Structure 1
Amino acid sequence: MNATRKDDHVRLAVAQHEGPHADRPSTFDDVRFVHHALAGTDRDRVDLTTTVAGRTWPVPLYINAMTGGTAATGRINRDLAIAARETGLPIATGSLSPYLKDPGTAETFTTVRRHHPDGFVMANLNANATPEQARRVVGLLEADALQIHLNSVQETVMPEGDRSFGHWPAAITAIAEAVGVPVIVKEVGFGLSGRTVAHLARLGVAAADVAGRGGTDFARIENGRRPEADYAYLEGWGLSTAEALLDARDSGLPLLASGGVRHPLDAVRALALGARAVGSSGPFLTTVTAGGPDALIARITTWIDQLTALMTLLGAPTPADLASCELLLTGALHEFCAQRGIRLQSGKDT
């Protein structure tokens, strides 16, 4: 059943990003840069490096957690890792829960480290894992960090999903104290609120990936696996990535951004809203499944080139400098900020 579910997830996720919902509106479109025609810098002054979990990343982009556990998903992980190696991107595996249930699936995950031997690799588990299990998957991948994903909405809709979430904070603390590598807690597409990020800061984690609404919708995926599809009303649940970044500012942890990042401008917007780095899953998944690693290498290379160009245009020599750009917040995002009492810092509030 688990193997079938993992292949179903890939099939349904690709369908989301290729189907009629692929170009759905995003609150990233509510983030506009105030254009200053003399603000630009020189391209050769732009430095894309950023610091995450105590390590320097060569670019503020990463391939976020997707899959693993079956022969087909193992091939996807191999191709993702090849693209990460050739472009310098950090990469996260999908949840290693299948490996804990069946060690025979190990190769579908270790292929990431084998094909990206010197890169930043993140293992991934849910918050039900024990400290021993967390140490085990970190060791399997020689991982540089461990992602713990929070997916209560997905589990609620999943026919065979978990129904107990109250122990998660204590489990996260125990894992963070045990694994010996930085722990990054992420959502799976429903967003981390500022209150949640502040709670995570007290649990001893190194960073939070807000992973908001706008990309792959796991409520929709799991509802598609239900015979009666009776949870359709939960599609679209949660905070968007832009909303989550604004809500979680100054909550005590470095922030990463993923969920609904469609192109380099969305990445620049996320960095301007305070993210240290920006992850993508769906666009990279559709590219690699259609064209293999060469197609994904070409796409990532284009993203890096255009990210550099946009930073040059905006006069931001480093990703951190994007946070000083003047922004206009419009539409639904402006309304969200008004209701939450969020104001941008002086000099950015327009």
Structure 2
Amino acid sequence: MTSNRKDDHVQLAAQQQRQPAAYNQFDDVSFVHHALAGIERSEVSLVTHVAGIEWPLPLYINAMTGGSVNTGAINRDLAIAARQTGVPIATGSMSAYLKDESTADTFSVMRNENPDGFVMANINATTSPVQARRVIDLLRADALQIHLNAIQETVMPEGDRSFGSWSKNIEEIVHGVDIPVIVKEVGFGLSSDTVSALQKMGVRVMDVGGRGGTNFARVENHRRSQADYDFLDTWGQSTPACLLDVQGLGVTVLASGGVRHPLDVVKALALGAAAVGVSGRFLATVLDGGAPALITQITVWLDQITALMTALGARDIETLTRCDVMIQGDLRAFCVDRGVDTRRLATRSTSGVVSPTVDE
């Protein structure tokens, strides 16, 4: 059943990616154009820092899949692309491995094909510290992702229905492993309240995982015989909304969810993300053209990210957080209700307002 579910997830996620591009709240973010801001391309650095660790690039392949023969082949292609481009990479949820050790190679292929890369293992919030150490050992993982997916579980026909132990489990894992722990949402967003609660548990890095990309409420609803949860299709906060909501909390924030192209990456970095993760867009590329196609795509994206930073006059990721940005539309309405001062963002290049990105 787990293998079938993993294959279903891939198929349904890919179908969403192949639909016509739709509006998401990254479209409500724009840069104020300063025509003389540009610098020399050779001055631009893409280096960033996550959990005190230097990443050469602010882009990573985020959690997708694993647990079946087909998804193991996908993970192999993803790992090859990560190795060839130098981007960090995360496995999909390793719950399948904890239930059935015969699926181990569908996850360990990521380390085997990418022996020197930065690899993150992924588990759910019901995992014990002992189990967490098992997946870390299998992957020789450099960091551990814990995903939060209460809405997905609610819609999933065979999903969990009890979430009261999650906070306790997360805190125990944070103190029970010796590598950085990253808590992430799967597409419904992390609020500032959630981020503050996670800080108290000892979590120092969060991936906001906002609405706008692969919609797991919709994925799971397609798997229901009556498809009776379609009213949750728009649940959650977008990635830009989350980034704006959590500014000033002094935590390293990663961004994923709804990232469609390099401009979205640069917008997320400007809103305070230390790095940006992509899943759905890269999944569709791998399914269509394998590792070579994804290598080409990531290479082009990195080149275009550098080009955009050059035009903006941003020598590094921190400088990007001083670029003037305008917030409009539905995203501006969210900011008004949540008490986010968008006017300061539009003039921060001269006012000295900086969006914190790292915990150095």
Matching of residue 135 in structure 1 with residue 141 in structure 2: no
1:305: how far off? 0.2
Q: Are the aligned partners of 1:219 and 1:235 in contact in 2 as well (CA < 8 Å)? A: yes
Matching of residue 8 in structure 1 with residue 18 in structure 2: no
Instruction: State the partner residue of 1:281.
Output: 279
Whole-angstrom distance in 2 between the partners of 1:248 and 1:329:
15
Whole-angstrom distance in 1 between the partners of 2:299 and 2:283:
15
Whole-angstrom distance in 2 between the partners of 1:204 and 1:117:
29
Q: Are the aligned partners of 1:201 and 1:252 in contact in 2 as well (CA < 8 Å)? A: no
- Alpha-carbon spacing, 1:199–1:345, altered in 2? closer, same or farther (3 Å): farther
1:349: how far off? 4.9
Q: Deviations over 1:75-122 (max 9, x none)?
A: 000000000000000000000000011101000000000111111100
Instruction: State the partner residue of 1:183.
Output: 181
Q: Are the aligned partners of 2:327 and 2:342 in contact in 1 as well (CA < 8 Å)? A: no
Q: Which amino acid aligns with 2:47?
A: T
1:251: how far off? 2.4
Instruction: State the partner residue of 1:18.
Output: 18
Match of 2:144 among 137, 143, 146: 146
Instruction: State the partner residue of 2:102.
Output: 104
Whole-angstrom distance in 2 between the partners of 1:153 and 1:346:
34
Whole-angstrom distance in 1 between the partners of 2:2 and 2:234:
25
1:55: how far off? 1.0
SS at structure 1 position matched to 2:228 = coil
Q: Which amino acid aligns with 2:134?
A: R
Q: Which amino acid aligns with 1:46?
A: V
Q: How does 1:236-247 map to 2 (within 5 A)?
A: 236-247=234-245
Match of 2:50 among 46, 52, 56: 52
1:327: how far off? 0.8
1:348: how far off? 3.3
Structure 2 regions of 5+ residues with no counterpart? 349-360
Whole-angstrom distance in 2 between the partners of 1:131 and 1:327:
42
Whole-angstrom distance in 2 between the partners of 1:179 and 1:340:
35
1:74: how far off? 0.2
Structure 1 regions of 5+ residues with no counterpart? none
Whole-angstrom distance in 1 between the partners of 2:311 and 2:347:
20
| TM-score in terms of structure 1 length | 0.98
Q: Deviations over 1:61-83 (max 9, x none)?
A: 00000000000000000000000
Q: Are the aligned partners of 1:64 and 1:281 in contact in 2 as well (CA < 8 Å)? A: yes
How much identity, in percent, do the aligned residues show? 61
Q: Are the aligned partners of 2:325 and 2:345 in contact in 1 as well (CA < 8 Å)? A: no
Whole-angstrom distance in 2 between the partners of 1:179 and 1:135:
7
Q: How does 1:1-350 map to 2 (within 5 A)?
A: 1-20=1-20, 23-344=21-342, 346=344, 348-349=346-347
How many residues end up aligned between the 2 structures? 348
Q: Are the aligned partners of 2:326 and 2:342 in contact in 1 as well (CA < 8 Å)? A: no
Q: Are the aligned partners of 1:147 and 1:186 in contact in 2 as well (CA < 8 Å)? A: yes
SS at structure 2 position matched to 1:94 = strand
Please identify, of 335-344 and 293-302, the stretch whose mean Cα deviation from structure 2 is larger.
Answer: 335-344
Q: Which amino acid aligns with 1:225?
A: R
Q: Are the aligned partners of 1:214 and 1:240 in contact in 2 as well (CA < 8 Å)? A: yes
SS at structure 1 position matched to 2:123 = strand
Q: Which amino acid aligns with 1:258?
A: S
| TM-score in terms of structure 2 length | 0.95
Q: Are the aligned partners of 1:245 and 1:275 in contact in 2 as well (CA < 8 Å)? A: yes
**Aligned alpha-carbon RMSD (Å):** 1.0
Q: Deviations over 1:249-286 (max 9, x none)?
A: 12232100000000000000000000000000001000
Whole-angstrom distance in 2 between the partners of 1:58 and 1:91:
13
Whole-angstrom distance in 2 between the partners of 1:203 and 1:188:
20
Q: Deviations over 1:233-253 (max 9, x none)?
A: 001210000001101112232
1:53: how far off? 1.4
Q: Are the aligned partners of 1:190 and 1:212 in contact in 2 as well (CA < 8 Å)? A: yes
